[in-house]
Amino acid sequence: MEDVSKREGRTVLFVSHNMAAIQNLCNRCILLNQGVLVDSGTTQDVIGTYLKGSQEASLRDLADRKDRKGNQAVSISGVHFSSPKNEKLSALHCGEDAVMNIHFKINESRLPGPLHVSVGIDDQYGQRVTYLSNEVTEQLFQNVKTGEALVQVELRKLPLKQGMYSYTLFSSVGGEIADWIQQAGSFYVEGGDFFGSGRLPDPSQGLFYVQHSFKLIQP
């Protein structure tokens, strides 16, 4: 796209929610919300406006969110984070265990199939960092009863580096979308001693940490 705009002298209109791609490809931006102009200017300034709006939307009570999709056979009513000992957390810590607690309302007396729940986690620029799903772990929920329900997602030795993250929540029943809320909330990760060595990697090096070790072999 850069070659087309610079070498051929054409104007390229790039439409995306991926802030990392926009930051790399564009020098000016406009921000639209349902067809209405919200902001225009340099890429950095408009991305700032977008991120601020996304964060404000994520702070609203999930029960009040009208921009959700799905048949509402089940609905997501709230999220909170806790330690494995059920102590509420205001922030997560790199290298430590945590639990994401997703509160549901089961609105049908009998669900027509298993309940699938997934979480997409994005960095502050909207770049997808990781995806959590009880389908890929083969833990679909069967025979779910009507009423309140809590889904707990165990996050072991959190590998995310320090920073702000947002998450999208998705659920389906029997293959049909039940409730889908984009930018449902956000959380902050504090820096931590992920490797247990007392040394922290340069935060500019990548998005997450990988447990690893080195071995030297000589003849």
The C-alpha atoms of residue 126 and residue 21 are separated, in whole angstroms, by 9
- Mean pLDDT in the chain? 87
Q: Do residues 95 and 208 touch, judged by C-beta distance below 8 A? A: no
* pTM score: 0.75
The whole-number pLDDT of residue 27 equals 83
pLDDT greater than 80 at residue 47: no
Q: Would you kindly state where each structural domain of the chain is located, as residue ranges?
A: 2-58, 64-190
Do 174 and 113 contact (CB within 8 A), yes or no? Answer: yes
Span 118-164, pLDDT tens digits: 999 999 888 899 999 999 999 999 999 999 999 999 999 999 998 88
Task: Give residue 96's pLDDT.
Answer: 93
Residue 142, CA distances (Å) to 135, 138, 175, 197 in order: 12, 11, 13, 43
Q: pLDDT tens for residues 71-105? A: 999 999 999 999 999 999 888 999 999 999 999 99
CA separation, residue 182 to residues 55, 73, 76 (Å): 12, 18, 12
CATH superfamily of 64-190: abc- transporter (atp binding component) like domain (2.70.50.60)
State how far the Cα of 79 lies from the Cα of 62, in Å rounded to an integer. Answer: 8
